Structure 1
Amino acid sequence: MTATRPAVTVDQEALTAWLVAQGVVAAGAELRVDQLAGGSSNPTFRLREVGGDGVDLVLRRPPDRGALPTAHDMDREYRFQAALAATAVPVAPMVALCRDAAVIGAPFYVMGRLDGVVHARAAAVRELPAGTAPAAALALVRTLAALHAVDPVAVGLGDYARPEPYAARQLRRWRRQWEASRVETVPLVGDVLAALTAAVPDAGPDRIVHGDYNLANVMYERARPERVLAVLDWEMATVGAPEADLGQLLAYWGAAGRLLFADRGGHLPDAAPGMPSAAELVREYHTAGELRVRHIPFWESFAVIKLAIICAGALRRVADPTAEHRTRIESVVAGLANIARDTLKE
């Protein structure tokens, strides 16, 4: 999900020296580094060579402060996208990974820049040609089905699988995240996590899980804005229950998404006529792929409570939030917790 965050600087001299050593840019090159909007909770930058026309890259790194454990893993983002490069799942081309935080103050990776569009705002969805928005929504869910058709072992990601069932280990992880960014005024988050823990469904086959799959995390072709160009923001990717991704998409498509996007120009699925319903998305997913999702209320509720915890984490990353900002975020966290509770009861 998109989060508001302060500007982050990058040591251009150190970065350029490292890129030269990796053979990514030529010796003597001078880079222009511009921070981009979006990029979820990991700051994202465009790298261009001054006076040149060959280097046009994107860099991602963790935030300067407030990073939660396991939530900003550059190695994870890089590996998952690199592993999917030869599959039917569209991703950006990976260029180089730096695990050494001493270079620019944090680990980072560099990828090729894609010239596409992201339908991240309701205004952008409303401006699409007639019929394009519904087609883009169906392409979104078909791409998810393609992701879940990939065997994680076959593409070198089998080491992310764990003997413990995905839901159990994820609930434990998100409880830790909640403890690290707890909003004391919203104890309901802890109650929902406890209810989910008591209702964990049987596990199916492990697949690659994106972790935050939604319309705003997918780039479309500029000339054909209903065709997916790349899936973005892999910071939560893992191997586990594919149902989690469909639950996440449905969470954004429903009341949780409506709440999150209320102050960002409106809910994306409400922005254009003919957008498929949640039930139609599920049918398209089943038609396009081989998997059949069960226990949808559990997975959607789990997705919503994760969004609540992410919002709490975003508040933690703000150095000195105003009382108004804190109240607004706490209200969103509370609203999401209520939606998660009600969804689990369905």
Structure 2
Amino acid sequence: MVDESALRAFLADALGEPTGTDADASGESTDADASGESTDADAFAVERHREGHSNETLFVTYGDRELVVRRPPPGETAETAHDVLREYRVTDALVDTPVPVPVPVAACEDPAVIGSDFYVMERTRGTVIRDAEPERFATPAHRRRLGEETVDTLAAIHGVDPAAVGLAEFGRPEGFTRRQVNRWAGQFQWAFETTMAEREVPEIFEATEWLTDNVPEAHPTTLVHGDFKLDNLMFAPGTPPELVGVFDWELSTLGDPRTDLGWLLSFWRDPDDPEPAVPELGTTFTEREGYPTRRELVARWEDATGFTYEHDRFYRALAVYKLAALGEMFFRRHLEGNGDDELYPLMRDRVPAMAERCLRIVDGDEPL
């Protein structure tokens, strides 16, 4: 966990002392929350969020405020991975755009406070879809709307004017896609320093060679999220589905929007798809009646952005390759004893399965 007293002191410096009072309609203070019960101005509690497998998420009660702290996982990480301060910068820039993001409130670059950089944001309430379809969305009309909300929000990200929100220098778009291949090949190299003593994954080297040889020569340039998929999105309570939050911006930059779309498509399942390579990280419910197919998602994205989705095999293969690299990094941390996530040891077998899937996409055996 964290040094809670140090975190509380930071929050007091950044946000002021916690309060349990609110102003009523006349502007006078009360000591009641929305339910009419009294609130404790000194309330402070920290709870680790158990979902997710990368950056750590902590829920913090601070007086009458509900906050979230994001920090990197424990242990050594590959260079540039888990950049939570990057998340803070981009979400702060997007608050007043059509892209729904949680409101960031403070950031800390001093690792002496809780052992790492971190940032704090307001907590957003709703449903993050991880394993199962919410019952309230289980109709063909709501399923279609969920898919449309998802791809429309991705198009909204790609429609942001970076210069207008202070992100003109947020990345190096030229050569972005080739650097993606090189970067994730480097993540494999970092992980393999430890994991190859346990088992080898020769298919990764074949996939690396194909991706390196097939990088598209040109691509559009937009803000990209870097990890856009259902379990990084939040939907409001009730129906119809309304997307109210996009999370996990640590990989965001200026680059090729087709990498975002390829990533989303690699998780989105159509009827008759083969069994998922990593059941723990995938869902099958988008196969059900009503959900848009991958081709329908592509068509809607193209209509909304004005871009065309070319080189599909490359972008979906790159997506699976990146996921496999993340898995191999997880496996290294497991072998080194850094992290207690139950998913990490499963990567011994799941990464080879993802490498095989990557090659099936390359060979055209898993078409769009």
For the criterion TM > 0.5, the same-fold answer is yes
Matched, 1:22 2:14: yes
> What's the Cα RMSD here?
2.4
Equivalence for 2:354: 336
Equivalence for 1:72: 82
- Relative to structure 1, the CA distance from residue 140 to residue 40 in structure 2 (aligned partners, 3 Å threshold; closer, same or farther) is farther
Q: 2:145–2:240: 8 Å Cα contact kept in structure 1?
A: no
Deviation at 1:306, TM superposition (A): 0.3
Deviation at 1:223, TM superposition (A): 2.2
Q: Which has the higher contact order (CA 8 A, sep 6+)?
A: 1
Tell me the distance in 1 between the aligned counterparts of 2:82 and 2:360.
30
Q: 2:276–2:282: 8 Å Cα contact kept in structure 1?
A: no
Matched, 1:267 2:284: yes
Larger Rg, first or second structure (1 or 2) = 2
Matched, 1:191 2:191: no
Specify every segment of 5 or more residues in structure 2 that has no aligned partner in the other structure, as ranges. Answer: 20-40
The equivalences for 1:1-346 within 5 A come to 9-26=1-18, 29-49=42-62, 52=63, 54-122=64-132, 124-125=133-134, 128-130=137-139, 131-162=141-172, 164-182=174-192, 183-184=195-196, 185-224=200-239, 226-254=241-269, 258-260=276-278, 262-263=279-280, 266-270=283-287, 272-318=288-334, 319-320=336-337, 328-346=346-364
**Residue range with higher mean Cα deviation, 249-258 or 174-183:** 249-258
Q: 2:207–2:358: 8 Å Cα contact kept in structure 1?
A: yes
- Equivalences, count: 331
Tell me the distance in 2 between the aligned counterparts of 1:174 and 1:22.
36
Tell me the distance in 1 between the aligned counterparts of 2:187 and 2:11.
34
Q: 1:220–1:227: 8 Å Cα contact kept in structure 2?
A: yes
Letter in 2 for 1:17: A
Letter in 2 for 1:46: F
Q: 2:277–2:357: 8 Å Cα contact kept in structure 1?
A: no
Q: 1:72–1:235: 8 Å Cα contact kept in structure 2?
A: yes
Tell me the distance in 2 between the aligned counterparts of 1:265 and 1:238.
25
Tell me the distance in 2 between the aligned counterparts of 1:13 and 1:326.
30
Q: Secondary structure at the match of 1:243?
A: helix
Equivalence for 1:4: none
Q: 1:211–1:236: 8 Å Cα contact kept in structure 2?
A: yes
Tell me the distance in 2 between the aligned counterparts of 1:163 and 1:199.
18
Deviation at 1:204, TM superposition (A): 2.2
Letter in 2 for 1:296: D
Tell me the distance in 1 between the aligned counterparts of 2:345 and 2:110.
38
Q: 1:203–1:241: 8 Å Cα contact kept in structure 2?
A: no
- Relative to structure 1, the CA distance from residue 225 to residue 97 in structure 2 (aligned partners, 3 Å threshold; closer, same or farther) is farther
Tell me the distance in 1 between the aligned counterparts of 2:227 and 2:44.
32
Deviation at 1:189, TM superposition (A): 1.2
Letter in 2 for 1:219: M
Tell me the distance in 1 between the aligned counterparts of 2:136 and 2:249.
27
Deviation at 1:40, TM superposition (A): 4.1
Q: 1:149–1:290: 8 Å Cα contact kept in structure 2?
A: no
Q: Secondary structure at the match of 2:120?
A: strand
Letter in 1 for 2:186: R
Between the two proteins, what is the percent identity of the paired residues?
Answer: 35
Deviation at 1:126, TM superposition (A): 5.4
Tell me the distance in 2 between the aligned counterparts of 1:139 and 1:57.
26
Tell me the distance in 2 between the aligned counterparts of 1:227 and 1:163.
31
Tell me the distance in 2 between the aligned counterparts of 1:110 and 1:81.
11
Deviation at 1:167, TM superposition (A): 1.0
Tell me the distance in 1 between the aligned counterparts of 2:232 and 2:275.
13
Describe the superposition over 1:92-122 as per-residue Cα deviations: whole angstroms up to 9, x where unpaired. Answer: 0010011111110010000000111111112
Specify every segment of 5 or more residues in structure 1 that has no aligned partner in the other structure, as ranges. Answer: 1-8
Deviation at 1:258, TM superposition (A): 2.5
Q: Secondary structure at the match of 1:118?
A: coil
Q: 2:137–2:241: 8 Å Cα contact kept in structure 1?
A: no
- Relative to structure 1, the CA distance from residue 225 to residue 41 in structure 2 (aligned partners, 3 Å threshold; closer, same or farther) is farther
TM-score (norm 1): 0.88
Q: 2:45–2:60: 8 Å Cα contact kept in structure 1?
A: yes
Deviation at 1:266, TM superposition (A): 4.5
Tell me the distance in 1 between the aligned counterparts of 2:359 and 2:91.
33
Q: Secondary structure at the match of 2:59?
A: strand
Describe the superposition over 1:140-160 as per-residue Cα deviations: whole angstroms up to 9, x where unpaired. Answer: 001101110112222212223
